[in-house]
Amino acid sequence: MKQTVKDVDLRGKRVLIRVDFNVPLDRATGALTDDTRIRESLPTIRYCIEQGASLVLMSHLGRPDGRRDPSMSLKPVALRLGELLQRPVAFLRDCVGSDVEVDVKVLRPGQVALLENLRFHPEEEQNDPAFAAQLARLGELYVNDAFGSAHRAHASTEGVAHHLPAVAGLLMEKEITYLGGALADPARPYVAILGGAKVSDKIGVLKRLLDRVDRLVIGGGMAYTFLMAQGCAIGSSKLEADKLELAKELLAKAAGRKVKVLIPSDHVIATSLSPDSHVKTISTVDIPDGWLGADIGPATIEAFVKALSDAKTVVWNGPVGVFEQPRFCEGSRRIAQALANLKGTTVIGGGDTAACVQQLKLSDRMSHISTGGGASLEFLEGKVLPGIAILRDRPLAGSPATST
List, edge to edge, every strand of the sheet that includes 292-296. 279-282, 267-270, 292-296
351 is annotated as an active-site residue: yes
Confidence of residue 394 (pLDDT cuts 50, 70, 90): confident
- pLDDT tens profile 73-105: 999 999 999 999 999 999 999 999 999 999 999
Cα separation, 205 vs 274, in Å, equals 31
Please confirm, yes or no, whether 18 is among the known catalytic residues: no
User: What average pLDDT does range 276-294 have in this prediction?
Assistant: 97
**141 SS3 class:** strand
Output the pLDDT for position 183: 76
Task: Please check the confidence at residue 313 and state whether its pLDDT lies above 90.
Answer: yes
Q: Is the pLDDT of residue 201 over 60?
A: yes
Q: What is the mean pLDDT of residues 234-251?
A: 95
pLDDT in tens, 347-356: 998 788 988 9
Q: What is the average pLDDT across 384-391?
A: 95
Predicted confidence (pLDDT) per residue in 207-242, tens digit: 889 999 999 999 999 999 999 999 999 999 999 999
* pLDDT of 397: 60
Name which of 70, 68, 312 is nearest 188 in CA terms.
312
Domains of the chain: 5-173+385-389 (3.40.50.1260), 188-343 (3.40.50.1260)
The residue annotated as part of the active site, out of 351, 372, 373, 387, is: 351
* Residue 292: strand pairing partners: 270
Identified catalytic residue from 253, 327, 374, 394: 374
Q: Catalytic site residue 374?
A: yes
- Rounded Cα distance, 333 and 61, in Å: 30
Question: Chain-wide mean pLDDT for the chain?
Answer: 93
Separation between Cα atoms, residue 292 and residue 235, nearest integer Å: 6
User: What average pLDDT score do residues 362-369 get?
Assistant: 93
Q: So what's the pLDDT on residue 105?
A: 96
Q: What is the pTM of this model?
A: 0.87
CB 7 within 8 A of CB 50: no
37 is catalytic: yes
pLDDT at 88: 96
Residues contacting 124, CB < 8 A, separation 6+? 60, 66, 118, 131, 154, 155, 156
Compute CA 113 distance to the chain's CA centroid, rounded to the nearest angstrom.
25
Please name the residues in contact with 213: beta carbons below 8 A apart, sequence gap of 6 or more: 190, 191, 192, 259
